[in-house]
Amino acid sequence: MDELRDGKARACLDASAAARARGDLAGAISELNSAVFLRPTDASLYAARAELLLDACDFATALANLAKAVALTERRDLALILRLAHALDARGLTLLDEADYTGAVNAFGEALAAIDAAPEGGPPASGRQTAERAARERERARAVRDAVADADAGAGADADEAARRDAEVGAAKQAFRLHRALAYIGLGRTAAAVHDLHDLADAADASPDARFLLARLLLKSGALADARTHLSQALRADPAHAQAKALSEQMAASAKVYDEEATRLMLIGEVPKAISNLSSAIELEPTNALLYRRRALAHKQHDDARAAAADMEEAVRLAGGTFPEAERLLTGINNDAAIAEAAAGRLESALRYIDRAIERDATSARFRVNRADIARRLNDTEAALVDYAAARELCARTSSRRDDELAWEIECKVSLVHYEAGASHFNRTDYPAAFAAFSRALACNPRVPQYLLARAEVATMLKRWDVVRVDAEAALALAPDDAKARAMLSRVVPA
């Protein structure tokens, strides 16, 4: 009986093929209906009927037949699953053309769900061919055990087949996600479209189309930096991508508008708004060194030296390391940043900034003084004295009033370093060292009564009364009402 039914089914298949060859789709489908009736568990018949129904544009019935074929193989036949998924995708594209975006989203979602359930291995035979294949596999296994070399070659072939299969599945999933993103856009569901496109863009082999579309959506939603990133990736993958090139030109034009608006805002004193506009311009053109330089100057005007330094550094980097105008400005900005960081108590950061300034301009006495001040606050007296000495030498090379004033400032600062050292020695009762330190302080700045009285007090411990008298008299000359100086003088000069 089974052989008779199989024979009739094969006859129906032959008749169906003949009808199809004549262009008689209805007749071909009718013959396959008879074949399916005779062999209702043969998945291949449902798959064949689905192909005819697709040719007849009967998507619903075709999809039902493919789903039945997949079910009969217990979802183990990858080829059938992929065919079902692609049929669902084709249905979705048709709905997309008809502006039925909800139906399209559902169809693409079903295609993705179908392919997500695809088996890890290759497609097994369907229907009653399973037992025959199992027998053939047993025979093949015996042959394999007899020839190791053949086994190795077979393993390589299997690996190639697995790679091909994975590539096919991956390409299908990318296409379905891209199509669903288009349907989401039609529905106005930008966030959902971006989610699908992000999944695509994260793949190493993401298509330029997916990256371009994601860039366009991100630009529309205001995520300018991300939009620029994905657009750049699209153009790297396909430099001739017409739509990506057009979007890039559009973004450059928008950056110019932001830049021009920033200029206007700077002129009327709206610096924070100008910075915001320049930031938008930079997000659209992140490799434009001039934009970074302009924002650096805006940050400087807004008293944000750290941000100014970062932007000017980036401008120099983007210009290939040579940007004379930016480099000249950067030197002073690094110094400003060091001063700001020191004022905020961030001394290590301040030291890094002033080091950069001196690295770019080693002839500035002011930079050396500033670094020495920071070193003092970090309790690195030795480094401070080295920088003060270097600054003093730089000032001596010129005779301008400005340098003379700085030279005097240096002497005052150095005298304070020595005074603090003397006080430390005094507290440890190391009176000779204290006396020497106070003497060095007075050599730098002899017009500070506090220094004179400190040395006089040490001199009393050392019984150097001549020094006590001289220092006390000098202190009184500078501060006639100083009670401590009078008391000290009375010890060596009776009333």
Q: What is the pLDDT of residue 127?
A: 36
Task: Tell me 311's DSSP state.
Answer: H
Query: What's the gap between Cα 234 and its chain centre?
Result: 17
pLDDT band for position 133 (cuts 50, 70, 90) = very low
Query: Would you call 177 exposed, middle or buried from its count of C-beta atoms within 10 A (0-12, 13-18, 19+)?
Result: buried
**CA dist., res. 254 & res. 67, Å (int):** 50
Q: Are 441 and 418 in contact (CB under 8 A)?
A: yes
pLDDT tops 90 at residue 166: no
Exposure string of 140-149, with b = 16+ CB inside 10 Å and e = fewer, is: eeeeeeeeee
Q: Which residues contact residue 202 at a Cβ distance below 8 angstroms, ignoring those fewer than 6 apart? A: none
The residue type of 302 is: H
**CA dist., res. 459 & res. 466, Å (int):** 9
User: pLDDT tens, 382-414?
Assistant: 999 999 999 999 988 877 788 889 999 999 999
Q: What is the pLDDT of residue 152?
A: 40
**CA dist., res. 287 & res. 294, Å (int):** 13
| Region label for 303, one of left (φ > 0), alpha (ψ between -120 and 50) or beta (otherwise) | left
User: pLDDT tens, 197-256?
Assistant: 887 777 666 788 888 888 888 888 778 888 888 888 888 888 999 998 999 898 989 899
* Domain 2-237 coded CATH 1.20.58.2030: no
User: pLDDT tens, 311-335?
Assistant: 999 999 999 888 888 988 999 999 9
